[in-house]
Structure formats: structure tokens, C-alpha cells
Structure 1
Amino acid sequence: MVLAPVPLSDAQLRFDPHWLGPQEADMLLASLQHRLPWEVHRIRLFGREVDSPRLSCWIGDPDARYRYSGTLFEPHPWPEALRPLRERLQSTLGVEFNSVLANLYRDGSDAMGWHSDAEPELGPEPVIASVSLGATRRFALKHRDDPSRKLTLQLPHGSLLVMSGATQRHYRHALPRTARLIGPRINLTFRRILATAR
């Protein structure tokens, strides 16, 4: 299991498609899908509030509050199932993660639009560790200044993608809809919320 660099100019990406073993990934998917307090987050889009096209749960240490799209999210406490994963990521990456955004994509019609994880709470060069569980989905990146510079990755069950350095400053990313009949997917994006930015 090796986090291999993904070549992309102006970005720092590392990827392991088999970071979690199949049995561990299966157990984690089943536990989180049925035990997290999933909710529909309201987001601001083109000046109006709409329901996000997925279910979400913001989890973290008590002071890891996060403002996204005009809404301040208070963290749910860490579930027992995520504690070993958090510790393993911290050991692997040398980053003290204090929060994770869990997103549940129920089928191919649930999606995430183009955006960057560039909120002030994350700092200028955040490390975002993204663990995927369930159905394989397509993850797209596009350069802010030159849309011809783009990349698409397939994120399978148990994979880990790490975005760091200037990635969020130079690129936007998305999880597009698909017409294919696919099952649910859970994505866990571990982050560090900076105390100075809260």
C-alpha cells in the first residue's frame, strides 16, 4: 500500500486505490451508512439557498466549527468507527486532523459541484485526506486559470486521495452525476480546522 504521486502541475496529489483492505472498507461502509446522523445541508448557490444533492455529516472535535457556503456547522462527536481511521491517517501523513466531512451519495444522481476547499478555517495550503467507500465514482479536477489542464480519477472502494500544497489554490474539483445504475458511496474528507481562523 503506497501513496503514489499523481502528476499534475500546480498541485500536490497522492493516491492509493487500495489503502483500506476490502473487509475493513466493507465494515466501515456498513457502520457509517446506518449510524451517522445524516442530514441535508443547505448551501448558497447563485445567491439563493438550496438543498445540497447528497446527505452530509460534519464531525470533529468540539471546537472544530466550519463555515461553508454561508452556513456555520457545529461538529457531531467522533463515532467510534472513525477513531482508528483518524489515527492511521495522522500517523501516515503527519497531520493532526480535528474534523471530517462525511458525504453520502445515495446513487448516481447525487453529486458535488465544482469548488475548492479554500475556506479561511483551512489555512493557505490545507491537507485534505479523502477516503472513499462503496461505489466507484469519477473525481474531476480543473485548473482555475487554464481549464485545459484537468485530470479525472476513478475513486474505488477503500481508496485514499490526498490533496495538499497549492492544490486548492490552483484547482477546483467535482464529483459529477452519472446515469449509470450504481450503489451508494460514502466519502470522508479529513481536515484540520485552524483555531486562528474560527
Structure 2
Amino acid sequence: MDLFSTEKPLNLLPYDGEVIYYGQVISSGRLAYYLQRLLEDIVWKNDEAIIFGKHINTKRKVAWYGDAEYAYTYSNTTKHALLWTEDLLALKQVVEQLSGTQFNSCLLNLYHDGNEGMAWHSDDEKSLGRNTTIASLSFGAERKFAFKHKSTKQALSVLLENGSLLVMKGATQSHWLHALPKTTKVARPRINLTFRTIV
């Protein structure tokens, strides 16, 4: 995306929310650098969830960073934030400038290949507040990101490219589910940074 362009990115959703896709916002020369730094410097852990009373460890790895040691609970497990790294702060600045929103934390996901994904869900935890804004920055393999309306079941998807930014805001989390479908076609890792605001 040209940072000096006056064209405003369009809302991908037809109704009940706003999802703005900015395309690639990180310069091509910095993509490999950031992917390497995130793989090496982030304190990755297998994600944990308690589903139907069963404790599950996912193959996907996660990390949680922020302004302070915020607690964040989802899937019946609680995580405590680590303090920002220098690279995360630099990326946060880019995302805040483009989205016009300030964020105080970031949940990072590491998908080793296309065999790892994310099932349908919405980020509607109480700690995020109502009509929250979530900015998702992607590095590594291109992956399809899907949306499905909770009542009408209308579905749509977007291909998230290396270095791209997607922002979900307004009533999106109240009305739409999103997912990262698994695929056998992707053999490379993808990291996504989801900047959010813990209330």
C-alpha cells in the first residue's frame, strides 16, 4: 500500500460491521527481517484451551505482549502480557498511524504451516469492550481469512499477504465470525500480530 495515497481502503463487509484491508503496509525489504526477528525474539508457547472440560494444547503457538502485565482470558485460560519488544513497538506505531487507533496490547499467533488454523470465533471477550477495534498484521505465508455472518450465514474471504494489515472494527465482533481455514497447500510459517485494547 502506498502510504501517501489518498485512496481510502474499502470495507470488505456488506453490513453489520467494518473490515478494512490495507494490503501490504510493510516495505518488501523489511519483511524477511521482521519474520526472522519475530520467530527468534518472541517468547512463544503452545496455546491452551479448555473445551468441554478438556484441557487442550494446540500446535499453534501464541504470545501476549502489552503496555503492562495485563491478564487476558479466552477459551477458559488466562494469559499475562510480557512487555513490548523494540520491534513490536515499531510495528505498533505503523499500525496505529494507519488505523487511527491506539492499542495497549498484542496477541501473536504462530502457524507453522497450513495444517494449523483457527476455527470460527469472534473476539467478543468482555475485557476487549464493546465494538472493539482489532488490527491484524501478517508476516510469512499468504493465508485465506474467512468471515461468516452469525445470523444470515453470508460468507466471504480475503487473502492476507505477507506484510499486510487488516482492521476489524465497529459491530464486526457482534455480528460476524472469522476463521483461518487449514490448507495442505501452505508449507511455510505465518505469524500474525493482533493489536487490541484491553479495557
Shared fold per TM-score greater than 0.5 = yes
Structure 2 residue matching 1:9: 3-state secondary structure: coil
Superposition deviation, residue 106 in structure 1: 0.2
**Partner residue in 2 for 1:183:** 188
Superposition deviation, residue 88 in structure 1: 2.0
Q: 1:117 to 1:181 in 2, by over 3 A?
A: closer
Superposition deviation, residue 94 in structure 1: 2.5
Shifted more, 156-165 versus 23-32: the winner is 23-32
**Partner residue in 1 for 2:4:** none
1:122-181 per-position Cα deviation (integer Å, ceiling 9, x unaligned):
11101000001000011111011121x111111010110000000000011110110114
Q: CA RMSD in A?
A: 1.3
1:5-25 per-position Cα deviation (integer Å, ceiling 9, x unaligned):
224221201112211111122
Q: Does 1:67 align with 2:73?
A: yes
Q: Which runs of no fewer than 5 residues in structure 1 stay unpaired?
A: none
1:41-80 per-position Cα deviation (integer Å, ceiling 9, x unaligned):
2112233221123010011121422111111110011111
Structure 2 residue matching 1:125: 3-state secondary structure: coil
* Mapped contact 1:53–1:112 kept (Cα < 8 A): no
173, 176, 184: which one aligns with 1:171: 176
Letter in 2 for 1:22: S
Letter in 2 for 1:152: S
Letter in 2 for 1:162: V
Q: Percent identity?
A: 39
Q: Which runs of no fewer than 5 residues in structure 2 stay unpaired?
A: 2-7
Letter in 2 for 1:179: T
> Structure 2 CA distance, aligned partners of 1:49 and 1:114?
19
11, 21, 26: which one aligns with 1:20: 26
* Mapped contact 1:53–1:111 kept (Cα < 8 A): no
**Could you state the TM-score of these two structures normalised by the residue count of structure 1?**
0.92
**Partner residue in 2 for 1:142:** 148
Letter in 1 for 2:174: R
Structure 1 residue matching 2:92: 3-state secondary structure: helix
After superposition, where does 1:72-111 map in structure 2 within 5 Å? 72-111=78-117
**Partner residue in 2 for 1:5:** 11
**Could you state the TM-score of these two structures normalised by the residue count of structure 2?**
0.92
Number of positions where the alignment pairs a residue of Structure 1 with one of Structure 2 = 193
Q: Does 1:46 align with 2:52?
A: yes
**Partner residue in 2 for 1:126:** 132
